[in-house]
C-alpha cells in the first residue's frame, strides 16, 4: 500500500461502560491505564467471488505484533487529553493505522484517526484526522451487499501524534477546548492494517485488526470498547463554549459487512 486512500481506520461497536464496569486498570484521579491481551489480532481475507458481494474469510492474525494493542493510557490534564496506545512490537518499517474514540458528556463524541503510511517517494508520512464521531449507518441506506458510505468533515484541531518505536507506543494529544472542555472523557482504541496481494492483478485483499478491551455481549459493530470516565485534573475549565471548528477537509468512509473496520473509500 502506498497511498493514504488505502489506509484503514478501525471500528467495532460497544456502549460506554461506567468506571465500576470498566476493564481492570489503574485510575488516579485524572489518569487511567489498563493492559490488553497479547496475540489477539483478528485477520480477514476478501475474495470478490462469487459476485456481486464476494466472500470474507477469517484468518489467524496472532503473529501480527505491529497491530497488537497491549495497553491504553489516558491522562486528562487542564489543557489536553493525552492518549497513549501501547503495542506488542511497533515496527518503523510497517504502516500503521490507529483510531481513537473520545466520549464526552451530553454531546456526540469525537474520533481521531492517525495514519502512518509509505508515500510514493518511499518515505513514511503521518496524518491525523479529527472529526465528530460517526453515527451508526442505517441498514436501509446500504447497498445489496450491506455496504454503506458516509462522509465526515475534519475538525480544525491538530493532535500531534508521536510514534515511539523504542517504547512501542503511539501518543496523541487533543486540546481540551476542541472537546468543549469536558468534565470527563472516555476513550476507546483500535488498530488496523491493510494487506494487498503481491500480484497487482490479484483482486483479493485482506487485513488485520485489534482493539483495546473486550466487547460486551450483544454489542453492535461500530465502536470499540471504552475505558472509564477519566475526570479532568483539578483547576481545569469545565463546560467551555469552544469546540473544534470544521475545515474543508472531508473523508468518505466505506463500511462493509464482514470487515471489522471502516476505511476511507477508494
Phi, psi of 4 (to 5 degrees): -60, -20
Cβ neighbors of 200 (< 8 A, separation 6 or more) are: none
- Laid out side by side, the sheet with 148-155 consists of 9-10, 261-264, 246-255, 148-155
Are 110 and 102 spatial neighbours (Cβ–Cβ below 8 Å)? yes
How far is Cα 16 from Cα 25, in angstroms, rounded to an integer? 16
Displacement of CA 95 from its chain's centroid (Å) = 14
The SS3 of residue 204 is: coil
Are 59 and 75 spatial neighbours (Cβ–Cβ below 8 Å)? no
3-class secondary structure for 94-129? CCEEEEEEEECCCCCCEEEEEEEEECCCCCEEEEEE
Cβ neighbors of 253 (< 8 A, separation 6 or more) are: 9, 134, 149, 150, 151, 152, 262, 263, 264, 265
* pLDDT value of position 1: 45
**b/e map of 6-28 (b: 16 or more CB within 10 Å)?**
bbbbbbbbbebbeeeebbebebe
* pLDDT value of position 22: 39
Q: pTM score, two decimals? A: 0.84
For each of the chain's 266 residues, which pLDDT tens digit applies? 444 433 333 333 333 233 333 344 554 579 999 999 999 999 999 999 999 999 999 999 999 999 999 999 999 999 999 999 999 999 999 999 999 999 999 888 999 999 999 999 999 999 999 999 888 777 788 888 888 888 888 888 999 999 999 999 999 999 999 999 999 999 999 999 989 899 999 999 999 999 999 987 766 667 899 999 999 999 999 987 666 666 667 877 777 777 766 655 43
Note the pLDDT tens digit of each residue in 205-255.
999 999 999 987 766 667 899 999 999 999 999 987 666 666 667 877 777
Cβ neighbors of 214 (< 8 A, separation 6 or more) are: 23, 225
* pLDDT value of position 93: 96
As a residue count, the chain comes to 266
What is the enclosing helix (H) or strand (E) of 155?
strand 148-155
Amino acid at each position: 500500500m502506498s497511498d493514504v486512500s488505502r489506509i484503514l481506520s478501525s471500528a467495532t461497536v460497544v456502549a460506554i461502560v461506567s468506571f465500576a464496569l470498566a476493564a481492570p486498570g489503574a485510575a488516579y484521579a485524572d489518569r487511567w491505564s489498563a493492559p490488553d491481551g497479547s496475540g489477539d489480532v483478528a485477520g480477514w481475507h476478501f475474495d470478490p467471488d462469487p459476485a456481486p458481494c464476494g466472500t470474507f474469510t477469517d484468518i489467524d492474525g496472532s503473529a501480527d505484533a505491529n497491530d497488537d494493542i497491549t495497553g491504553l493510557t489516558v491522562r486528562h490534564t487542564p489543557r489536553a487529553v493525552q492518549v497513549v496506545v501501547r503495542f506488542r512490537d511497533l515496527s518503523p518499517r510497517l504502516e500503521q493505522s490507529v483510531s481513537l474514540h473520545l466520549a464526552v458528556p451530553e454531546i456526540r463524541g469525537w474520533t481521531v484517526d492517525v495514519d502512518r503510511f509509505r508515500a510514493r517517494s518511499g518515505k513514511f508520512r503521518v496524518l491525523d484526522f479529527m472529526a465528530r464521531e460517526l453515527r451508526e449507518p442505517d441498514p436501509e441506506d446500504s447497498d445489496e451487499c450491506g455496504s454503506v458510505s458516509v462522509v465526515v468533515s475534519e475538525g480544525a484541531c491538530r493532535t500531534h501524534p508521536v510514534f515511539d518505536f523504542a517504547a512501542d507506543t503511539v501518543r496523541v494529544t487533543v486540546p481540551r477546548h476542541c472537546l468543549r472542555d469536558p468534565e470527563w472523557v472516555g476513550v476507546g482504541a483500535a488498530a488496523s492494517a491493510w494487506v494487498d496481494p503481491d500480484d497487482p492483478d490479484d483482486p483479493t485483499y485482506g487485513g488485520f485488526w485489534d482493539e483495546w478491551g473486550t466487547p460486551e455481549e450483544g454489542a453492535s459493530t461500530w465502536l470499540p470498547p471504552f475505558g472509564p470516565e477519566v475526570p479532568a485534573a483539578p483547576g481545569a475549565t469545565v463546560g467551555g463554549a469552544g469546540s473544534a471548528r470544521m475545515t474543508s477537509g472531508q473523508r468518505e468512509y466505506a463500511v462493509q459487512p464482514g470487515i471489522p473496520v471502516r476505511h476511507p473509500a477508494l
